[in-house]
Structure 1
């Protein structure tokens, strides 16, 4: 075996700090859902890449409060929670960390695999998901005094899900996908679509485009080489009539060939910069097309609430419940009273904590003073004892015999204490390993 060569995979140069203006999201399923809704969660994660946790693992013991607590530490700005209700699947878009919370009912949806199976041209999912998609808002009513107040909030909610578009810093090659959010005024719903941008040569027929792009047939095994083995002449491949299998069918006329290569001028653009694909250079005229890859959803806005789940505030909009101005004022008054009560309780708790801390500090100071007074009294008792019999008298004499007797008694006491210690010292038991 040859020696394996190690390639350097670490980044070179200074590490760029993540930008704070790019929104990040968590997309989760909440509660018991089926396999279809679980797959929809995975598809929506693909749409929101690369600024989402695409491999986030949910567990049954995880609650919505856990994600709301963990998200600010990870600089997550949005939480999309899918759940299954007795009526229909629902989606909640939560703006962290102060709200608002938008609740949608999913009227209809199609998965990514369903869209790809129904399309005539199968697409391979690849490098398109390395850059965020472009957001397109369509059919929303313009701002006016007659516009419902929840429409601007709805538009703002979808705008903040994706990074802001900057034409001065955006590179053309990074524009690979489009997310279309269209408002249906007749049904009162929002249509969610996801497309991939494809660029094709303009003004040429399909067969000529296959030659230019180097496309291969399904039977060809060589990549980038067109298989013309069944053709006698290149004209048979380029000018053969549509639907004819062989060259015996004849050629197309000049008029029919002109119609086939005309195309729509509305789809053709001049590339402002180099784009992904063969021969897509700056200044070339190309036809731009959107291929839908899914998922597809039809959403109905049900409710908009201030705050986040668990800390809800006023109900800004409700699709099914309509309240009068008096009821709205009463709800606002109740909410203000609850907020005032919470604030008073919080302030009272802080005062109690400070009061307890001061009390603990005073008790500790009193204990320290008691200890100092005890030490002083002990010192005074020692001084009084020294003033009495403990004072050295110069006239007092001790004979040598007494010294020797005292020394012998002390030596004997030490010997006896050492013998007692040896006797009292416990004997260590030997450990034996028994056979099991």
Structure 2
């Protein structure tokens, strides 16, 4: 029996799980840097949810990581945008960096609400699953002035920056069931701010009351703890009309009249302008192609109010000229001097880069030459070791032996005749030059000197 191949169906992202995430789709990093609180950390997680699936959901920032580390790593991973949140003395701020050449847009986060706060404040809390985040959201830009010669250039640039964060919309290839979320970015001209909203798309039957919708969808208002199945509880009703047509708050069939399904206050999308005909099958029960349904947006958060503060060329650490600033205004002469200064810095940076490349090339060449020279020296040593003459060694050893024998005869040997003659002379003179201990002293050991080769 062959080995069973395991299919990993739980992994999200990639072309297999999301056909729209192919080449040319923008990808993003959403990070925090510096000392931030728990609330801003949760906001970063919520924004990552918004940017899914084309973002690093499980990216972990460490205390030793700097913004330069993410800027260096991002191009190798195909990341096109970097959203960096930080906490300043004035307020929280967010920077959108277009990789790898810029520009960089700096925003001040005036106000924000987390996703959990939006869901808790809603009357009908929606249980979110991972299915909604398998496809990118639809982007809606509202209240932005159209590009024209009279439109401030920073507004047009800001609109195009938000537009480039999300994949472009292709109606011919878009699957209707993949449209699950909407990101709304609207410009408030009175306050000069940008409102960021995140919604979930819900499709419900058109022109029916809430009670009838429960019958159609098979959803009950109450679920018993003993059963997981959804059934309608009609035990207290005498007639099914009491459940379907009774007004909200009335106790029973003794009321003066019944409500109609179309005139119900709880009906969904009573206006014909809010109803659409489904062009294809959509998620949910009975949402088939050609059915008339009402489309509703439920906000799931997060919510932010952003104010554009600064637009600069380049990326952080390599910023160029300032294209727009909310509080600092410069004259034409100051702008010209600033451009000249940035140009000089760029030339100096280029010279240093070229000099560094030349130094690296020179060191590599020197290292290669040294390695080649070391190999030649090893070959010469091997040749010298192979040409050794054994006869020459024997000749040197013979000379050393002769030298040792001569040395032993001249200096190290004990002359018995000379000793006897000295003893005889001392006996004749009646004087002893040496004591008995000195006469009994053993001879000194001879010293052997080895000649150096």
**Given the two structures, how large is their TM-score scaled by the length of structure 2?**
0.76
Evaluate the alpha carbon distance shift between residue 185 and residue 376 of structure 1 in structure 2; reply closer, same or farther with a 3 A threshold.
Answer: same
2:203 and 2:221 mapped to 1: Cα distance? 20
Q: 1:166 Cα deviation (Å)?
A: 1.1
Q: Whole-Å Cα distance in 2 between the matches of residues 313 and 334 of structure 1?
A: 9
Change (3 A) 1:110 1:352: closer
Distance 1:377-1:151 versus aligned 2 partners, 3 A rule: same
With 73-82 and 258-267 compared, the bigger mean Cα shift is at: 258-267
Q: Choose 1 or 2 for highest CA Rg.
A: 2
Structure 1, 101-110 or 73-82: larger mean CA deviation: 73-82
Which residues in structure 2 correspond to 1:155-234 (within 5 Å)? 155-220=159-224, 221-234=227-240
Q: 1:172 to 1:341 in 2, by over 3 A?
A: same
Counterpart-to-counterpart distance in 2, 1:228 and 1:245? 14
Aligned equivalent of 1:100? 103
Which secondary structure does the structure 1 equivalent of 2:132 belong to?
A: helix
Q: Does 1:154 align with 2:158?
A: yes
After superposition, residues 19-168 of structure 1 pair within 5 angstroms as 19-126=22-129, 127-168=131-172
Kindly state the Cα deviation for residue 202 of structure 1 after the two structures are TM-superposed.
0.8
CA contact (8 A) 1:216 1:223 kept: no
Structure 1 counterpart SS, 2:107:
strand
Pair 339,197 (structure 1): closer, same or farther in 2 beyond 3 Å: same
In the alignment, which of 304, 322, 325 is matched to residue 297 of structure 1?
304
What SS does structure 1 have at the residue aligned with 2:352? helix
Alpha-carbon shift at residue 361 of structure 1 (Å):
6.2
Offset of residue 71 of structure 1 = 1.9
What's the counterpart of residue 335 of structure 2? Answer: 328
Q: What are structure 1's unaligned runs of at least 5 residues?
A: 1-5, 390-436
Change (3 A) 1:366 1:332: same
* Segment of structure 1 superposing worse, 313-322 or 340-349: 340-349
Cα pair distance change 1:344/1:252, threshold 3 Å: same
Q: 2:272 is matched with which residue?
A: 265
1:117-164 deviations in Å (ceiling 9; x for gaps): 221111111221121110000100001111011112111211111111
Alignment partners' CA distance in 2, 1:55 and 1:198: 28
Is the Cα contact below 8 Å between 2:201 and 2:296 reproduced in 1? yes
TM superposition shift of 1:7: 10
Separation (CA, whole Å) in 2 of partners of 1:108 and 1:52: 24
1:392-411, aligned counterparts within 5 Å?
none
Partners of 2:192 and 2:307 within 8 A in 1: yes
Change (3 A) 1:240 1:338: same
Cα gap change, 1:218/1:360 in structure 2, threshold over 3 Å: closer, same or farther?
closer
CA distance in 1, matches of 2:49, 2:105: 21
Residue 251 of structure 2: aligned partner:
245
C-alpha contact (below 8 Å) 2:223/2:230 kept by paired residues: no
Matched residue SS, 1:248: coil
Moved more, 278-287 or 371-380: 371-380
Compared with structure 1, are the counterparts of its residues 348 and 227 closer, same or farther at alpha carbon in structure 2 (3 Å cutoff)?
Answer: same
Q: CA-to-partner distance for each residue in 1:147-194, whole Å, 9 max, x for gaps?
A: 011112111211111111111111000000000000111111100000
Distance 1:363 1:189, change over 3 A: same
Distance 2:92 2:384 in 1: 80
Q: 1 CA distance for matches of 2:107 and 2:15?
A: 40
Alignment match of 2:288 (pick from 281, 284, 289): 281
1:92-140 deviation line (CA, Å, top 9, x unaligned): 1112222221110000111111111221111111221121110000100
TM-score normalised by L of structure 1: 0.78
SS in 2 for 1:217: coil
* Aligned partner of residue 254 in structure 2, secondary structure: helix
Q: Separation in 1 of the partners of 2:74 and 2:257? A: 64
C-alpha distance 329-377 of structure 1, shift in aligned 2 (>3 A) = same
Instruction: Provide the rounded CA distance (Å) in 2 between the counterparts of 1:357 and 1:311.
Output: 29
Asked if residue 348 in structure 1 is aligned to residue 355 in structure 2, the reply is: yes
Provide the rounded CA distance (Å) in 1 between the counterparts of 2:383 and 2:247. Answer: 118
- Cα deviation for residue 281 of structure 1 reads 0.3
The reply on whether 1:315 has 2:305 as its aligned counterpart is: no
Work out the CA distance in 1 between the residues paired with 2:245 and 2:103: 60
